[in-house]
DNA sequence: GCTTGACCTTCCAACGGTGGGAAGGTGTAT
DNA sequence: ATACACCTTCCCACCGTTGGAAGGTCAAGC
C-alpha cells in the first residue's frame, strides 16, 4: 500500500508519516522496487495509534514511549498509566491556565462598552499601572 | 535606561524586546553613543502592555493591532472589543478541545488497573479498531 | 507511441515565540 | 589592570506541521 493510501486509512498526512520515520518514531518503511514506501495493515494500525495519541495531545516523546509499550506485549499497564496520567495532569494544568486567561479577558470585555467612544477598560487593563501602590490619590 | 532594566521593569526578557523590535512590533529604540538601546518610562509602559497581552494569550498579530489602537487616543472602543472578543472566543474553543482531550484521557486512565498486568485499556483505546463495522462476531 | 495527471521521492524553508550561545564591545568597581 | 556584568549582532534550536521545488513513476486515455 502506498503512503497516500496508508495516510488516508490512518488519518495522518503522508507528510507526517515521512516525518515520523525521519525522526525515528517509526521504523523505516519497506520499499518497493521503485523506492516507494510500502505499508501493510499493521503499519496502518501503528499510524492510527500515533494519530489518536496526537489528537489526545501527547507529545512526540510521550508517543515514542507509548509506542514502545504498545509493542511490548508484556508491559505492565502501570507504566502506560503513568505516562497517560502525567499527560492528563499537564493538560489539566494548561486548561486551568487558559481558563484564567479567559476569565480575565472576559471581565475586561464585559466592562468595555464597545461603541464609538475611545474609553476602553480592555486597553486600560493591559496598559494600566503595574503596582497598586503609586496610584495618585 | 538599559534594555535589561527595562526588561525587568516590564516583565519581559531583553531577548524578547530585541525580537519585538526586529519584527516591527516596536519602533526602533533610541540609541546611546555606545549603541546601547535606551528606554524611557513610556517605552517600559509599552513593553508592559505587550507582556500583559502575551500573558493573556494574544498572538503577536493581535498585539500589533492592540498596540496601534492603544496608541491612538481616538480609537473607538468597539474595535478593541472586537479583537479581544475574537481572541476570547478562540481561547474558549481551544479550552473546549483540550477539555475533550482530557475527558477522553481520564476515561481511559480510570479504566486502567495500572499494575503489573499487561492488559491496558489506554493502549487498547489508542490502538483499537477504527470502525465499528468489521468487528468479528 | 505520447500526453496527462496523480502519485511518489528527497531536500529545504517557513510558521510563532522563546531561549541558548558565540564573539566582541562597553561600563563600572576595586 | 583586572574582573565582571552588561550590552551588541549573529545564527541555531525547539515543536509539530505545512508548503514548495525538482524530479521519478505509474495508470489512464487517445
Query: What pLDDT, on a 0 to 100 scale, did the predictor assign at position A132?
Result: 44
Distance B14 CA to C20 C1' (A): 14
Please tell me whether residues B89 and B115 are part of one structural domain. yes
Nearest alpha-carbon partner for B58 in A102, A3, A20, A59 = A102
Nearest alpha-carbon partner for A6 in A36, B131, A23, A35 = A36
B78, A108: Cβ pair inside 8 Å? no
Please tell me whether residues A10 and A66 are part of one structural domain. yes
Averaged pLDDT for residues A53-78: 95
Please tell me whether residues A91 and A115 are part of one structural domain. yes
Kindly state the helix (H) or strand (E) to which residue A86 belongs, with its residue range. helix A77-110
Query: What pLDDT, on a 0 to 100 scale, did the predictor assign at position A131?
Result: 53
Cβ-count burial A91-122 (b if 16+ within 10 Å, e if not): beeebeebeebbebbeebbeebebeeeeebbb
A133 has pLDDT over 50: no
Structural domain including A112 reads 77-128
Averaged pLDDT for residues A123-131: 82
| Residues A76 and B118 sit within 8 Å (Cβ to Cβ) | yes
Distance B59 CA to C17 C1' (A): 9
In angstroms, the separation between the Cα of residue A72 and the nearest Cα of chain B is 9
pLDDT per residue rounded down to tens, chain B (137 residues): 999 999 999 999 999 999 999 999 999 999 999 999 999 999 999 999 999 999 999 999 999 999 999 999 999 999 999 999 999 999 999 999 999 999 999 999 999 999 999 999 999 999 877 654 444 43
Please tell me whether residues B6 and B61 are part of one structural domain. yes
The beta-carbon neighbor of B102 closest among A48, A66, A88 is: A88
Nucleotides of strand C within 7 Å of the protein's CB atoms: 7-10, 16-21, 25-27
Please identify, among A58, A75, A92, the residue that sits at the C-terminal boundary of a domain. Answer: A75
CATH assignment of the domain containing B40: 1.10.1660.10
- B109 in contact with A at a CB cutoff of 8 Å? yes
Amino acid at each position: 500500500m502506498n503512503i497516500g493510501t496508508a495516510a488516508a486509512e490512518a488519518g495522518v498526512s503522508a507528510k507526517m508519516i515521512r516525518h515520523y520515520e525521519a525522526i525515528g518514531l517509526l521504523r523505516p518503511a519497506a520499499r518497493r522496487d521503485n523506492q516507494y514506501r510500502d505499508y501493510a495493515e499493521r503499519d496502518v494500525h501503528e499510524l492510527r495509534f500515533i494519530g489518536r495519541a496526537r489528537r489526545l495531545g501527547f507529545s512526540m516523546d510521550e508517543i515514542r514511549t507509548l509506542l514502545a509499550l504498545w509493542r511490548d506485549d508484556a508491559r505492565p499497564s502501570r507504566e502506560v498509566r503513568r505516562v497517560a496520567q502525567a499527560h492528563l495532569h499537564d493538560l489539566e494544568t494548561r486548561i486551568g491556565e487558559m481558563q484564567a486567561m479567559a476569565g480575565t479577558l472576559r471581565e475586561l470585555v464585559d466592562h468595555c462598552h464597545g461603541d464609538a467612544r475611545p474609553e476602553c477598560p480592555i486597553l486600560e487593563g493591559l496598559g494600566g499601572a503595574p503596582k497598586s501602590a503609586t496610584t495618585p490619590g
